Structure 1
Amino acid sequence: MGGRASPPTQRVVDVLDFLARHPHDRFGVSELARRVGQSKPTCLGIVITLAESGYLVRDPADKTYRLGPSLISLGHVAQESMRIGPPARDQLRRLSSKFGTTAALAAVVDDRITLLELVGPPGADVGVQVGQSYPFAPPVGLMFVLWDDDALRDWLAREPTVPLRTDTERRDRVVADCRRTGYLVERLTPGGRRLYALMAGVSATLPDELRVLLGELVSDIGERVYLRSADDETRHDISVISAPVFDHYRRQVMVVSMQVGKALTDNEIRERAQAVVMTADAVTEQLGGTKPDG
């Protein structure tokens, strides 16, 4: 991003980001200042101002702070500004309820993949939160560029998040298959699943040590993609099924995803994938969008 950074503003952001990462905990000023690397007087001034505005809540008994109710309305406004309204949430709820799993809506915001909405079964611990973001660079983000040649080309030209080997033939097959079916099915190893947890909140430029570690988990674009070969009863370990949402320019702007996390047959995969596509198409219609031809 261009322009000059504002250190005072960054200190406020640091406090809010830290508390957002610990939504069930409360912190006194001394501990909070230590955890975010600020002096106690500076941190005190920030939390007092935020509490007066309702962005933090102060417990009068132990003088600790936690996130406040003003952030709820602010978050709702942010979602609405990205056109994530009640109709879209209703579509995710139907998908989640039908298969008893979590459904999500995500987009690329300021060059980061950002989770815009998440719906899951009551009491489910999905391990991620709305607003969580990831670097948008190979191999992370394939589902956001599969249906647009220019977007795919630009994404592939980015500096990879981890060292990659290139299997152009398989990548082309993945692109062709996903465009034909209208969905992407990812099959992750246990190590690959850890990738997204490790990537959450980090910058696109990773330390060399972390790049090597992640490179051991995922080393090729498309290698985690499930490609159907035959109708049989073989079960395949599936992680996520995704489908694109388009705007009125027929550009992909979001992705609907459904968490699977278990072994499925080809027919079970297809049933869930078709439901994800129907959900994505409904959100596209609600946005006034249009699917590309072909």
Structure 2
Amino acid sequence: MSSPEPSRRASPPTERVVAVLEFLARHPHDRFGLSELSRRVDLSKPTCLGILTTLTEAGYLVRDAGETSRDKTYRLGPALITLGHIAQESLRVSPAARDELRRLSETFGATAALSGVVDDRITLLDLVAPPGTPATVRVGQSYPFAPPVGLMFVLWDDHAVREWLHKQPTIPLRTDTARFERVISECRSAGYLVERLTPGGRRLYALMAGMSNRLPDELRALLGELVSDIGERVYLRGEDDPEARHDISVIAAPVHDHHQRQVMVATMQIGHALTDDEIDSRASALVETADAVTRSLGGVKATW
């Protein structure tokens, strides 16, 4: 028998600090006074004031002074910028990688991003969006990494594919083995993956964002209606009329380390219909971006 997992040791004081920071992060353009902030994060005023004072002294928050003490408001501070940059660098997201994302975004007027699996969760590591694009996701957002979600993060690594398939599925699955093998073969040959935009798929990642790896039964059932076959949303050439326009959600390409292991995924958000030629032009540019990020890591592109 396997030994039981150790009991979870929570730190309520730390959780209260995290609650304040996460709330302010969800409202980056707003400022909050003590009374409203303590009410919104469900803390007593003295406790909230102590947290705000300490975070402000450390530079993690900025206090904007009003005419009276009651008018003082708080917002995120500059020290968090330094922490964010250090965290990105530790996850191998360099300024050079961001420059590559920016060039891709400007060329196609689309959102470009880098994501990876961190602590067994798919995590958004960096993102560049066209000016004025509504923020539907944010850097650091994560969701469970288990079938059927996460194929693009293992597709170019045989060992990673096997490990991923052995994970407890997020939802009950049916698997078309022949098609799955075709997906792997054709995506590796092309160097990229194209995911269809479907009514259910539009909401899949939003539903999963922030969830634990053990989803409630009700949510598992709902997700089962959205996606229930590994790779079913992958678009492969020859499945539809080549002259038709295809509703595409995202195009993805792998980033590799010096062992030729897939460590990240570069993506371009689409969200509308494209012809095969339009898919090809965007995919080619995305692969170039992923290859440039691979080189910036000192990585070596895997060949098939």
Please tell me the TM-score bracket, short chain as reference.
Answer: over 0.9
Query: 1:50 aligned to 2:59?
Result: no
Aligned ranges for residues 87-236 of structure 1 at < 5 Å? 87-229=96-238, 232-236=242-246
Deviations 1:117-151 (A, max 9, x none): 11121222241111111111112111000011221
Q: Give the match's secondary structure for 1:256.
A: strand
Aligned ranges for residues 274-285 of structure 1 at < 5 Å? 274-285=284-295
In structure 1, C-alpha distance between the alignment counterparts of 2:128 and 2:263, rounded to whole Å: 19
Q: Among 224, 235, 248, which residue is 1:238 paired with? A: 248
Deviation at 1:17, TM superposition (A): 1.5
Would you say the 8 A contact 2:114–2:127 is kept in 1? Answer: yes
Structure 2 gaps, min length 5: none
Q: Among 3, 12, 15, which residue is 2:17 paired with? A: 12
Deviation at 1:281, TM superposition (A): 0.6
Q: Among 261, 266, 275, which residue is 1:256 paired with? A: 266
Deviation at 1:278, TM superposition (A): 0.9
In structure 2, C-alpha distance between the alignment counterparts of 1:59 and 1:246, rounded to whole Å: 45
The residue identity in structure 1 corresponding to 2:103 is R
TM-score, normalised by the number of residues in structure 1: 0.94
In structure 2, C-alpha distance between the alignment counterparts of 1:274 and 1:165, rounded to whole Å: 32
In structure 1, C-alpha distance between the alignment counterparts of 2:120 and 2:284, rounded to whole Å: 29
Query: Kindly tell me: are residues 159 and 36 of structure 1, through their superposed partners in 2, closer, same or farther at Cα, counting changes over 3 Å?
Result: farther
Aligned ranges for residues 30-41 of structure 1 at < 5 Å? 30-41=35-46
Would you say the 8 A contact 2:260–2:299 is kept in 1? Answer: yes
Would you say the 8 A contact 1:102–1:126 is kept in 2? Answer: no
In structure 2, C-alpha distance between the alignment counterparts of 1:201 and 1:39, rounded to whole Å: 26
The residue identity in structure 1 corresponding to 2:12 is P
Deviation at 1:92, TM superposition (A): 0.8
Would you say the 8 A contact 2:197–2:272 is kept in 1? Answer: no
Deviations 1:153-173 (A, max 9, x none): 111222222232222222111
In structure 2, C-alpha distance between the alignment counterparts of 1:126 and 1:273, rounded to whole Å: 23
The residue identity in structure 2 corresponding to 1:189 is T
In structure 2, C-alpha distance between the alignment counterparts of 1:204 and 1:37, rounded to whole Å: 26
The residue identity in structure 1 corresponding to 2:242 is D
Q: Give the match's secondary structure for 2:200.
A: helix
Would you say the 8 A contact 1:231–1:267 is kept in 2? Answer: no
In structure 2, C-alpha distance between the alignment counterparts of 1:198 and 1:116, rounded to whole Å: 19
Would you say the 8 A contact 1:246–1:289 is kept in 2? Answer: yes
Query: Kindly tell me: are residues 33 and 206 of structure 1, through their superposed partners in 2, closer, same or farther at Cα, counting changes over 3 Å?
Result: farther
Q: Give the match's secondary structure for 1:227.
A: coil
In structure 1, C-alpha distance between the alignment counterparts of 2:116 and 2:283, rounded to whole Å: 19
Aligned ranges for residues 72-83 of structure 1 at < 5 Å? 72-83=81-92
Deviation at 1:192, TM superposition (A): 0.9
Deviation at 1:235, TM superposition (A): 0.7
Higher mean alpha-carbon deviation, 50-59 vs 279-288, is at 50-59
In structure 1, C-alpha distance between the alignment counterparts of 2:247 and 2:47, rounded to whole Å: 50
Higher mean alpha-carbon deviation, 124-133 vs 238-247, is at 124-133
Would you say the 8 A contact 2:124–2:138 is kept in 1? Answer: yes
Structure 1 gaps, min length 5: none
Would you say the 8 A contact 1:79–1:116 is kept in 2? Answer: yes
Would you say the 8 A contact 1:231–1:266 is kept in 2? Answer: no
In structure 1, C-alpha distance between the alignment counterparts of 2:163 and 2:216, rounded to whole Å: 23
The residue identity in structure 1 corresponding to 2:244 is T
Q: Give the match's secondary structure for 1:190.
A: coil
